[in-house]
Chains A and B, each alone.
Chain A
Amino acid sequence: MARTRSTVVHGRGVSHPQRRARLLLVFVFMVFSLFAAQLFRLQGLDAASVSEAAVNDRLTNVTIPAARGSIVDANGEILADDTERARVEVNPLNVPLYERWEGTGAERTLAAEGIVGAAADIAEVTGADPSDIAQKITQTEGMYGILLPSISPEQWQEINDLGIPGITSTTIFQRSYPLGAAPAPLLGWISDPDYPAGGLELTRDEVLQGVAGEKLYERGGAGEVITTGDITITEAIPGDTVHLSIDSDLQWYAYNAVEERVKESGALSGYALVQEVDTGRIVAAASYPSFDPTDETQSAEGMRNALVEDVFEPGSTGKLITAAAALEEGIVTAETPIVVPVGMSRAGQNFKDAHDHPQQDLTFAGVLATSSNMGTILYGEMLDDDIFYDYLLKFGLGTTSGLGLPGESTGVVPAPESWSATSKFTMMFGQGLSSNALQQMSVYQTMANDGVRIQPTLVSGVTDHDGVYQAEPQPEGERIVSSETATTLTQIMEQVPTPSGTAPQAAIDGYHVAGKTSTADRYDPELGKYDRTTASFIGYAPADDPKYVVAVTVQRPTEISQYGGTIAGPVFADIMRYALQESGIAPTDEPQTEVPVEFDPDAAAPGEGSGVTLGDIAIRDE
């Protein structure tokens, strides 16, 4: 090789290629050494801080929404639950870039492009009108707008696969209520965005609400998750499941029954409640009119929970408290003779019964069974004011029912010191005081449960997101009247819904029913005076071992009738029959206990001296 080099002839000032090439090589090595040093700095010395800036630049977080807890009935049937949906959003500036090609190679054709093409392809998936969608895109201002408020995740998958620029989605949860309007006032409703409004949705929000999660990830230039990058996912914790004592079937049945009755009687509204006697649990609580809980716009009026917000004068069903107090205080027995006059006057006011009648010789049982106002005053006025008032309170009037539903009204039970001259007399037959339907039903539950009152409950327990069930504390029963008093009143009330009683419409074939009608004068707040009636029937069955209390109230019926027995009685019978059959209570063919409702004024009074007749010792208007 050396020989080759020496043979080269040098030109004038012309350098040898070998030398020049060596210079070139040295230059190359120098530059590459500098580059290596720079790489050593970038990838070694300075890497940590720059890499941190890089990760921070890419990191982004998205909230993972938590599903709201379900509300289920006593059998686990869904009353309210969350469904995953997709909300489609649009950046109208990017949509015009959309292109969809079909075929391959030379046969490739542009199948859709721009806003019109995108709208047509989206409409294909959702079944909407393409021009509507196109219009929505073009009318969106700025860089963000909601294109489709809620579509199924499957539909979103199809739209996403189209790869339309500027079309993105957010996972949302939508509340659904399979029973619709039937339990709506009870359950409440979720407004947009995710704000519980009314009912159990509001009162149990704390447990129903889940905890939103978060996904922290490195985001690529197209907004995608960099799968090889840092991803930290804090899973959302779904809300807890709230178990109610409600029975869906019964709720549905009761709602339909009351809806039908309100409509055919031209009434204002109606309620139907079913309570389990032994436990105080509410099995159905329906009111009509109701509302559609999936409708995003609701009026405050439409969302009222009439069951606990409506208070009204109970009327004759209130006589049960007067009767219980008189029995318990030893003023009367079932057989106590009472002479009911044609008319009478107290504190300057005339009192009459619902139907005019000649003077009647009724027992105490007969006064209650025929719902005589005057008879009730005759024995009731023998009660001390404070004792009577105490009984009203002990039965739960004037205090909330304990369900804790929003907006519950306690009703008004005036204290003796504020009574007017006639207050005591009207309150004895359930006028001049007010309460809600639940409170009134509770009085009947007490009698049905042998004199022990149990506060009504609606929530039986909560299952948390780990599946652990925690029962709600159930209220202790409280004895209000003796077992004897309760038994006596039950036997008396068994006389009402019989073919010969005042409310034959409330009778149920094969079952003994104890109950009471009421036709109360209704105070109309709009007119500012009493106008028309509140028609109710409250009762329980089977009378010898009651399973359910059912309370039916119809406000301001204008057609068919205005009387409780006629209007509310059949609805009561309907619901009670359904409830008894559903729970498999066997009918009985035992004869009903007969309680004498009238007395013979000439018969000898037992326990008195000879010659003293019942007519002599009878309570009468003197």
Chain B
Amino acid sequence: MTTTSRNVARARKVSSSQPQTAGSSLASAGEWLRSPVAPYYLVLISVASLVSIGLVMVLSASTVQEYAATGNSYGLFLQQLMFMSIGVVLAYVASRLPIAWWKRLAIPGLVLAIGLQALVFSPLGVDFQGNRNWISLGGKTLQPSEFAKVAVIVFGATILANRRKVMDRIGLAIFPFIVPGVAIIVGLVVAGRDLGTAMILLAIAAGMLFVAGLPLRWYALFGALGAAGVAFLALNSDNRMQRIDAWLGDICSNPQVEGCFQKVHAEYALADGGWWGVGPGASREKWSLLPEPHNDFILAIIGEELGLPGTLLVLALFSLFAYACFRIISSSTDPFVRLATAGVMVWIVAQAMLNVGSVIGMLPIIGVPLPFVSSGGTALISALIGLGLLLSMARSVPGCDAALKGRPSTLRRTFAALPVRRSRS
């Protein structure tokens, strides 16, 4: 607790000079980027942009199939809009949650996550496309493994925060974070046959241990174990082997080749778009050709309609997000903040990598949604809770909260994100 109060004191000191530099002189972009509020806004800008692009593209990609299925083109879009609204509210609440509260929620959160995940195997569970990873509550379905990601991050950060110096002792590094925490969750997810989510969970755990400072030699061992595990799971499923064959086998000469339908149609969509895209709304492949156009393959539709600038913008926004996370890690002194940030960063970025890699043929098709962009209620809400967590961490960066509080209004605070000339005070 003493550390925290000292941090606050330091933050106050920094903040006293902050308004003058920002308000009285021409703030250059470089200068602004170095300011303690920059990570906060960079996270906000990148996520807001991704969510906006996502909403527009979910609308575009889903209209045809929605109309065919229900007669209403906007059904899925409006649902997505509703999920986003819920997510934004939760993100706001999460961003206001003090670090002490996050730590207090760590264990109950994990227990709740394990409980929800176990419900998948109760009569409430729902089978969807070969995976049993959903539960149905009052007519709404939700994917508890999405919330488990947040729970694992908060739990891990809480446990590992106090073990900075003992990370070379493997027992302390993995207990109780990996075993039993992550192991139970991943075990339940794998039992539900959702390999994609399991990989994200493992990536989050590995990433957090990495940033926590786990010696690299353990990664050789865990890497070998992980590879063997993935190979075992893949070999046990014809579906997964087919996907790997389609990825590496160079067999996909046309969409009719077994296992190549999605891959080739994703390539078709990206090629249709070409340099500059066919224009918003004009996708051809969304006409019941490319499967999951508004979900796992939304990047292909973005590429088709918005061209190379569209797909590169998405990559740039995720890169910006990663950079913002790095800035929080590097400018914070609180181990909890660093680890929680690293967790969210690995979650979002790894999931984006798996998704984009699948769509552009550099990875086998794994079937994870593109964070913030793809349709899907639970995924979007939990990702926005992740955003709230990040914002909460960003606020704790020395000088940030004070700088934010120093601004009299939300409106002006928002303008502070823009490197423009401000009126003299």
Residues of A within 8 A of B (CB): 1, 4, 9, 11-18, 20-25, 28-29, 31-32, 34-36, 38-40, 42-44, 46-51, 53-55, 57-58, 218, 220-222, 224, 226, 228-229
Contact = CB atoms under 8 A, between A and B. Distances in A.
Given A11-B213, A13-B215, A43-B274, A35 B315 contact: yes
A98 to B, nearest CB: 14
A58 B360 contact: no
Contacts of A40: 308
Contacts of B68: 222, 224
Interface residues of B, number: 64
A43 B330 contact: no
A40 B216 CA distance: 34
Interface in B254-282: 254-255, 267-275, 278, 281-282
A54 B288 contact: no
Contacts of B211: 17, 20-21, 24
A53 B349 CA distance: 33
Contacts, number: 166
Contacts of A12: 168
B271 A228 contact: no
8 contacts: A11-B166, A24-B342, A28-B319, A42-B270, A44-B274, A47-B270, A53-B268, A54-B284
Nearest to B274: A47
A32 B318 CA distance: 9
Q: Which of B271, B318, B361 has the most CB of A within 10 A?
A: B271
Contacts of B307: 43
B362 interface: yes
Contact of A51 (B64, B271, B287): B271
Contacts of B303: 39, 42-43
Interface string B313-329: 00100110011011001
Contacts of A55: 272
A11 B271 contact: no
Given A16-B213, A40-B308, A50 B271 contact: yes
Contact of B267 (A20, A32, A42): A42
B308 A34 contact: no
Contact of B278 (A1, A39, A42, A228): A228
Interface in B380-419: 398
Interface stretch (B237-245, B331-339, B370-378): B331-339
Contact of B281 (A53, A57, A228): A228
B353 interface: yes
B197 interface: no
B165 interface: yes
A46 B274 CA distance: 9
B37 interface: no
Contacts of B164: 11, 14, 17
A327 B360 CA distance: 101
Interface hub of A22, A28, A29, A222 (most chain B Cβ within 10 A): A28
Given A24-B207, A39-B270, A51-B271, A14 B168 contact: yes
Interface centre among B216, B268, B307 (most CB of A within 10 A): B268
A182 B360 CA distance: 70
Contacts of B342: 17, 21, 24
Contacts of A228: 278, 281-284
A29 B353 CA distance: 11
Interface in B326-368: 326, 329-331, 333, 335, 338-339, 342, 345-346, 349, 353, 356-357, 360-362
A51 B304 CA distance: 10
Given A16-B213, A228-B282, A42 B271 contact: yes
Given A14-B168, A31-B353, A228-B283, A51 B329 contact: no
Contacts of A1: 331
Contacts of A226: 284, 287
A34 B289 contact: no
B121 interface: no
B294 to A, nearest CB: 14
Tell me the interface secondary structure of chain B in the complex. helix
A25 B362 contact: no
B207 A43 contact: no
A431 B307 CA distance: 90
A226 B311 CA distance: 23
Given A20-B213, A39-B360, A43-B275, A28 B349 contact: yes
A64 B68 CA distance: 25
Given A24-B207, A218-B284, A51 B274 contact: yes
The 9 closest A-B CB pairs, nearest first, are: A221-B288, A220-B287, A54-B268, A50-B271, A11-B165, A14-B213, A21-B329, A51-B271, A228-B282
A34 B271 CA distance: 18
Contacts of B210: 20, 23-24
A14 B268 contact: no
A220 B167 contact: no
A34 B335 contact: no
A35 B267 CA distance: 14
Contacts of A13: 168, 215
Contacts of A11: 164-168, 213
B183 interface: no
Contacts of B330: 18, 21-22
A234 B339 CA distance: 65
Nearest to A229: B284
A590 B339 CA distance: 125
B342 to A, nearest CB: 6
B248 interface: no
A47 B275 contact: yes
A17 to B, nearest CB: 5
Nearest to B345: A24
A222 B64 CA distance: 10
Contacts of A9: 165
Contacts of B326: 21-22, 24-25
Interface string B139-170: 00000000000000000000000001111100
B329 to A, nearest CB: 4
Given A218-B284, A221-B289, A229-B284, A50 B268 contact: yes
A29 B272 contact: no
A105 to B, nearest CB: 9
Given A17-B212, A38-B361, 4 more contacts: A11-B213, A39-B308, A43-B307, A47-B273
A35 B357 contact: yes
Contacts of B165: 9, 11, 14
Nearest to A221: B288
Nearest to A43: B308
Contacts of B282: 228
Contacts of A48: 271, 274
Contacts of A35: 315, 353, 356-357, 360, 362
A32 B164 CA distance: 30
- Best-buried of A4, A12, A53, A221 by chain B (most CB within 10 Å): A221
Contact of A38 (B166, B278, B362): B362
B333 A4 contact: yes
Contacts of A46: 271
A220 B288 contact: yes
B270 A43 contact: yes
Contacts of B339: 17
A17 B340 CA distance: 12
A25 B323 contact: yes
Contacts of A57: 254-255, 268
A222 B66 CA distance: 13
A42 B359 CA distance: 11
Nearest to B341: A21
Contacts of B271: 42-43, 46-51, 54
A220 B64 contact: yes
B312 interface: yes
A187 B86 CA distance: 73
Q: Could you say which of B210, B212, B255, B346 has the most chain A C-beta atoms within 10 Å of its C-beta?
A: B210
Contacts of B215: 13-15
B22 to A, nearest CB: 17
Nearest to B323: A25
